[in-house]
Structure 1
Amino acid sequence: MSEEREYVCHGCGVLIQTEDPGKLGYVPESALTREEVLCQRCFRIRHYGDIGTVAQDPDLYLKKLSEIADTNSLVVQIVDLFDFAGSWIPGIHRHIGNNPLLLLANKIDLFPRSVKWGRLREWLMEAAQGLGVTPVDVVLCSAAKGINMDKAVQAIEKHRQGRDVYIVGTTNAGKSTFINRLLRDLGGEEKDVITTSPYPGTTLDAIRIPLDDGKAIVDTPGIVRKDRISEWMSPNDLKVIVPSSTIHPKVYQLNDRQTLFLGGLARLDFVSGPRQPFVCYVSNRLYVHRTKLDHAQVFQEKHHGELLVPPDKPETLPPWTKHVIHLSGKEKEDVVITGLGWISCGKEKALLHVWAPEGIRVVTRPAMI
């Protein structure tokens, strides 16, 4: 490679190198003459849909995030509305210093049309405040479908006040898709600038996109959260568990001593309580199986990796662990399995056992819908 100039990948921001095809940033030397230099990985993602895994350094990404505290900028956190608990950046208020935060809730297109957006926006504001942040605004949008992008642009321009804009979020929250849509809608680009894929960790280094006033939009690497199940999935399994179209909730009226399997990734045991509805908000492609609790363990051992998929290879995940959940009966509650979805429970007291791979976060919250 020429020593006179360093190249960075136009798609993911990684430093380009021509020496080792097995390492990140590789391109053949002849590719350096192109107007748009893409590393081999980004080239294969864009042209062949090859979304192979990459080694990621969560601590390095958090360090880059913390550098924002030393800037004077607007911070835009993109959260996956379908996986809010798993796509929130823990302790973000400590990383961004005194900079204002605008919350953009992406993937609104996945929610049923019956959902009231005003109520959802209030829920998000309350949830953010409970996590230690008061956003300057909350905007519901869909980068993939272009929904409410005009409101997102207006909010960014209103609150940036001539400053740089840092786009932050966890892996797979939709940051790069949002920026590409933003640039297209503003008339600056006819095609994607930043490489996107459904696999976590596509953006590998900060990508700075100049604005007309001398400032910039900065796309940062996605923060890795190993406590959500999507981070453990292969590319093929991700296609099953990550929703790509409007969710059709699966409703089950359960008596106690019944069990729901969410593919081969999690299991809910309704141990005791009055008959009530359990509504599964998961990808339409994910198989949900109902059975009797007394038969659940034998059924799991017999069908895990066959009928109960994904994953095709259960041994690739940590062993399952049990979470004991007591529903208060005072309000409707969601049982959230981060990176997979949630189950909305009826307004009745109940004892639940939720099984998920060890280390995967399982929480309850006031019902989102």
Structure 2
Amino acid sequence: MKENINCYLFVYNEYSDWEPALITYALTTFTTVKVITFSVDGQPVTSGGGIRIQPQLALADVRPGAHDLLLLPGGEPMEKGANKEILPLVKSHIQAQKPLAAICGATVFLAEHGFLDNVKHTSNDLGLLKMLLPEYKGAPNYIAAPSVTDQHIITAPGTAMVAFTKAILEELQLLQNEKLTFWLQFFLKEGAPQIQTVPPMNFFYRSYQTDFAGLVPLIRTVARDIFREAIANDLEIVGPQHWHYHNVTGQPGNIFTLEIGVPVTTVKEVPAPYGCRTLPAFNCVSIQHPGAWANMGQTYHQLINGIMTAGVQMSGSNREQYIHCDFENPDANITNIQIGIL
């Protein structure tokens, strides 16, 4: 990302205030990009949600730099031909190949004035564009997608605020920011961390006092013994092997408690060194780690950074569920990671 980037957010009466909300929060909270609001005359405006906004600048005072973003939210006035005063700014911005992002009604505004004729783009609906704009010539470049970026122009329908936000961050090359990426994942459907409460479960296990260096000898051998002993004690196994960590600090040489076991249907007395008890509900942030266990440290690092950024306190207990273990092809492993939170 280039340094000292500004995001110029155009605000006007009845603009759809939710559409730029996610991206402006992301930029302000996690990056050095400065969000600057402006209206045509610099006077206060009232958003579609009834929020009174005092813009920081008037249109005449906007002077975008080489890498500054121009952000155009939608709203009914844009679809009805209002705000033509910003046309010179939009034209110069596009001609200079500076990033420009338009959503919902703002895409109609761009299409109406020919800015999307030769640019791949999307909007609320192709049929709607044709109906609103009989002279619209960009149909061959229309793509039905949550967000489209082409020639530094980002477009999205009004229902795709998350995809719109991600596309802008990609255009500005900001997704290398681990804290920002973690935060954004909560809004994405696929592969996102989840805050959840795991219900109580019956657990058959063996406990160890160890450090990270002592984990290697336990791999493969303990799980085999756990399954064998569970069956020998007439316990019905109802899930994959679990590794539960308690009082882990991450410091070299830190000795912590590790419980390796499996969920079972009932609790009963079992001979030492094994145990069987009902675990209480477990509040956690979880994510699925695909691939080799050697790379799990990176997933933990991103997850913990995100939790700390969100201001959530960790409990000191973590869990791993080994959904699929393939020692011949580690890239096929699937591990569910759960970091306990208070």
Give the TM-score of the pair, scaled to structure 2: 0.30
The higher radius of gyration belongs to 2
Give the TM-score of the pair, scaled to structure 1: 0.28
Asked which structure has the greater RCO (Cα within 8 Å, sep 6+), the reply is 1
